Homo-oligomer: A and B are copies of this chain.
Amino acid sequence: MKNFQFKILNCDKKTKARTGIFKTPHGIINTPVYMPVGTKGAVKTVSPEELNDLGAEIILANTYHLYLRPGEKIIKSFGGLQKWTNWKKPMLTDSGGFQVFSLAQEKGFTKKNLKTLVKIKEDGVEFKSHLDGSTHFFTPEKVIKIQTDLGADIIMAFDECAPVHASKKYIKEAMERTHRWAERCKKEHQKIQKKRKIKQALFPIIQGGIFDDLRTQSAKFIVDLNLPGIAIGGLSVGESKEKLYHILDIINPYLPKDKPRYLMGVGSPEDILEAVSYGIDMFDCVMATRNARHGSFWTLNGRSHLANTAFKNDGNPLMKGCGCYTCKNYSAGYVRHLFIEQEMLGLRLLTIHNVHFLVDLMKQIRENIKEGSFIQFKNRFINKFKNEKK
C-alpha cells in the first residue's frame, strides 16, 4: 500500500458510514479514527506508551503553539515531532489558522475589531502571540514551511476560520481567501516535497460557515485540488448541532469516496456517531483531555463528575466493564480522592479513561459498520448516553 493511500474496507448500507485504512510513513490508521490532541507536543498528563496501550493510532499537535515555543527549528534539529516526543506512530499538525483567529475571538472581539487585532491581508495574517504580545506574520507558504520542519505525517492548509456569527458576505470573502491560500499551500508543499525524502500529506479545508451554497461551493473547490484528504473546518464553533449535521449532509455528495474526510474539532461521543453516519473518517477534540482535568468522565450512561460525594466510598471502577488501565486498577473512590487533592496522578488516570472511552468507541463503530449493525449500535448508544451534559 502506498503512502497516503486510503482504502475503504466496509460501507454501511443504511448510512454513509464506512471503515477504511489510511497509510502514512509512520504506520496505518484505522478509520473512523479519533485523534487525541497534544497541543504542545504532549497529550496532557499521559505518556506515548500509555496512548499506545489504550489504542490511540494518531495524535495531533498544534503548529501555532510549537512555532511560538520552542520554535519549529528546534524540533527539526531533533529529527521532527516523532523523534522529539517519542511518539512513534502517525501525527497530524493543524495549520495554526484556527488558533490565530480563535484566540482573538476568545477575547470577545467582533469582526470589526478582530481586523485590528488580527490583521488579515491577502498575503497572510498578522497576529500577536498570546505569550508575550510579540507580532508575527503567517502566510500560507510560511505555515507549510513550519509544518515541514515539524515533520508530521499529515499537515493542514492555512485557512481563515471566520466567526460563526459574521455576515454571509464576510464568510464568503473568508472562504474565497481560504481557497486562494489552499492553492498557495499546495504549490509550496509540492515545491518542498520534491526536495525531501520525508513525505507528508497536505489536507485542504472546506469553509463556508452555515450557508449551504457556500459550503457546496467550497467543497467543490477543495475537492478539485486533488490532495490526499479533505478537511471540514469552521464547524462545532457555536452553530447548532442540527446545522452541523445538515452541513455534513449537503456536502457529502461532492466528496470523493476514496479520500479520508476529517471533521476538525469534533467532538462529543454523540457528535462523532452522527458525523460517522454522514461519512466522516477522522476526528480530533480536546474534550476527553480537558474534561479529565476538570474531574469529569464518560460512561455509557453519559457524563459524570468526580466532585459528586457519592463517589467517595465507591469501590467500583469509574465505569464497570471498562478495559482501560484506570478502571482495571483503581476504584472511583481513590480516583476521586486524587482529583480532590489535585494530585496529578488523578488527572492522568481520568485522562486515560476518557481518551480510552473515545478510542474504544471508534473501535466499536468500526466493528459495527463491518457487521452491518452500525445504525442499531448508534441509536442504542445515544439513547443510553442521554445524560450527557454540555
Contacts and interface: CB of A to CB of B under 8 A. Distances in A.
B74 A345 contact: no
Interface stretch (A91-99, A101-109, A189-197, A336-344): A336-344
B344 A78 contact: no
A334 interface: yes
Contact of A334 (B84, B315, B346, B347): B84
Contact of A344 (B331, B341, B347): B347
Chain A binding surface, main DSSP class: loop
A69 interface: yes
Contacts of A86: 329-330, 334
Interface in A18-57: 40-42, 44-47
Interface residues of A, number: 33
A85 interface: yes
Interface in A313-368: 313, 315, 329-331, 333-334, 337-338, 340-341, 343-348
Contacts of A74: 312-313, 333
A77 interface: yes
Contact of A343 (B44, B329, B337, B343): B44
Interface of A: 40-42, 44-47, 69-70, 74, 77-78, 84-86, 312-313, 315, 329-331, 333-334, 337-338, 340-341, 343-348
Given A69-B340, A70-B340, 7 more contacts: A40-B341, A41-B337, A42-B345, A47-B345, A77-B313, A86-B329, A348-B348
